[in-house]
């Protein structure tokens, strides 16, 4: 759980939110949830593949969503394996060096982003380096707020790097989804 809580602290710092905030997660934002946290709060077509990070609160102030185009830091040093489209923006697939070391089959997927143009497969990123900004969902007239979706994926088989995308991640026969909150 240290990596995830440290990541949330880095996310707060990257956006000037200070160190006295708390992050809020609603039903539908967590791994394996079938509920939506937006629009009609209905059902998703399949279980959620990760965690959505959007809402925070500072002290007694009201709960606030991340700003459009919020800075997204890397959780740790890592190698970019793929960059692909998702239904809102783009996703970046990274194998982090110190998280699950010894298990090259574990990758992290940062989604719904506008990714820095120079970050392509084969590039290394440093811990807390700004890798992207949250996608401005108003560009697609989405009822979703801008947010970061993060997945931790264990690959069950050898998968070509360019196939690490959203055709693969929901396939529970080819991947095992790990709750990033407990990393």
Q: In this predicted structure, what is the pLDDT of residue 143?
A: 85
φ/ψ bin of 112: left (φ > 0), alpha (ψ from -120 to 50), beta (otherwise): left
DSSP 3-state of 3: helix
**Spatial distance between the Cα atoms of 74 and 129, rounded to a whole number of angstroms:** 6
DSSP 3-state of 15: coil
| Mean pLDDT, the chain, integer | 92
Q: In this predicted structure, what is the pLDDT of residue 120?
A: 97
Quickly count: other Cβ atoms within 10 Å of residue 20's Cβ. 9
Q: Is the pLDDT of residue 163 over 90?
A: yes
pLDDT top residue among 79 and 103? 79
The CATH architecture to which 71-182 belongs is Distorted Sandwich (2.70)
Tokens of 155: 């690959």
Q: In this predicted structure, what is the pLDDT of residue 168?
A: 94
Specify whether the CB–CB gap between 153 and 52 falls below 8 A: no
Going through 27-101 in order, the beta strands assigned E by DSSP cover 51-53, 55-58, 64-65, 71-73, 78-85, 90-96
Q: How far apart are the first and last CA of the chain?
A: 4
Q: In this predicted structure, what is the pLDDT of residue 15?
A: 97
Residues of the chain within CATH 2.70.70 domain(s) are 71-182
Tokens of 8: 């949330």
Specify whether the CB–CB gap between 65 and 137 falls below 8 A: no
Could you tell me the pTM of the whole model?
0.94
Q: In this predicted structure, what is the pLDDT of residue 104?
A: 56
pLDDT top residue among 8 and 104? 8
């Amino acid at each position: 759980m240290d990596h995830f809580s440290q990541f949330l602290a880095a996310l707060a710092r990257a956006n000037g939110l200070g160190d006295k905030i708390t992050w809020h997660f609603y039903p539908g934002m967590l791994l394996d949830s079938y509920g939506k946290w937006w629009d009609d709060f209905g059902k998703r077509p399949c279980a959620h593949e990760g965690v959505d990070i959007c809402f925070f609160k500072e002290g007694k102030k009201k709960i606030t969503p991340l700003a459009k185009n919020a800075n997204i830091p890397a959780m740790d040093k890592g190698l970019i394996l793929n960059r692909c489209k998702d239904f809102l923006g783009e996703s970046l697939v990274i194998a982090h060096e110190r998280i699950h070391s010894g298990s090259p089959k574990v990758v992290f997927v940062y989604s719904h982003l506008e990714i820095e143009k120079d970050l392509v497969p084969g590039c290394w990123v440093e811990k807390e380096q700004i890798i992207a900004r949250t996608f401005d969902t108003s560009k697609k007239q989405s009822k979703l707020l801008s947010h970061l979706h993060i997945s931790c994926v264990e690959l069950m088989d050898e998968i070509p790097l360019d196939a690490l995308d959203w055709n693969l991640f929901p396939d529970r026969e080819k991947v095992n989804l790990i709750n990033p909150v407990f990393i």
